[in-house]
Amino acid sequence: MNEAIDFKIVEEPKKPLAMNPKKFGMWLFMASIFILFMAFTSAYIVRRAEGNWQLFELPKQFLFSTVVIVLSSVTMQLTYWSVKKELTQRVKPMILITFILGIVFLFLQWLGWEEMVGQSVHLVGNPSGSFLYIITGLHGAHIISAIAFLLIVLHKAFQNKFDSVQIEICTTYWHFLGVLWLYLFVFLTLLR
């Protein structure tokens, strides 16, 4: 009486890795920005090694703008945590403060450029100046895009429409630009 016992091993289907398409798009966008800045800083190193490189002091405004962008990352993170904890009364002021700090960052960058002109470092001329203006200007353009994103989030916040995914994406992008600036600041300080 040998009965054959048929049994099958049934595996649970694996859940595919899923990511919100907007988050995925933002990560791709940030990856492309990262590659762009790595290309510029690599070109900077190669060109600097060739010689004919004007040495100059970085403007003190770049240090101040570094402090400002770190503070703005703190306020943006507080915004994100406020949304997560449903402390909606804190969201509007934190986004507004982040927005203002973003504008202050850009203003300090502009003042830094003016100081560079005062040191006779120009966009056209010696490649050291050209690289400085292009790298910081390109970063500034991305800060402008993040400020525009903040305005969209702020507008929705004032309508009491809190999209946690949108705020998370905005926070991620803001932090990315902050870290990118820290890298650029250290890079330009060490390899001026």
Domains in the chain, please, with CATH? 56-190 (1.20.120.80)
Q: What's this model's pTM, rounded to 2 decimal places?
A: 0.87
pLDDT value at residue 131: 93
Give 41-77 pLDDT, tens digit per residue: 999 999 999 988 888 889 999 999 999 999 999 999 9
- Residue 5 has what pLDDT? 64
Q: How confident is the model at residue 181 (pLDDT cuts 50, 70, 90)?
A: very high
For residue 11, pLDDT beyond 80 = no
The two structure tokens encoding residue 15: 């859940």
Distance CA 77, CA 42 (A): 31
Q: Is the pLDDT of residue 112 over 80?
A: yes
121 pLDDT band, cuts 50/70/90, is confident
Is the pLDDT confidence value at 178 over 90? yes
Q: What percent of the chain has pLDDT over 70?
A: 91
Structure tokens at 176: 């990315």
159-169 average pLDDT score: 89
Of all residues in the chain, what percent carry a pLDDT higher than 90?
Answer: 69
Strands (DSSP E) found in the chain: none
**Once rounded to an integer, what is the mean pLDDT over residues 123-132?**
90
Please report, in angstroms and rounded to a whole number, the separation of the first and last CA atoms in the chain: 88
Task: Name the residue among 17, 18, 27, 16 with its Cα closest to residue 168.
Answer: 27
What mean pLDDT, rounded, does the chain reach? 90
What's the mean pLDDT in 24-53?
A: 94
Amino acid in the structure at residue 156: K
Residue 33: how many CB atoms within 10 A of its CB?
18
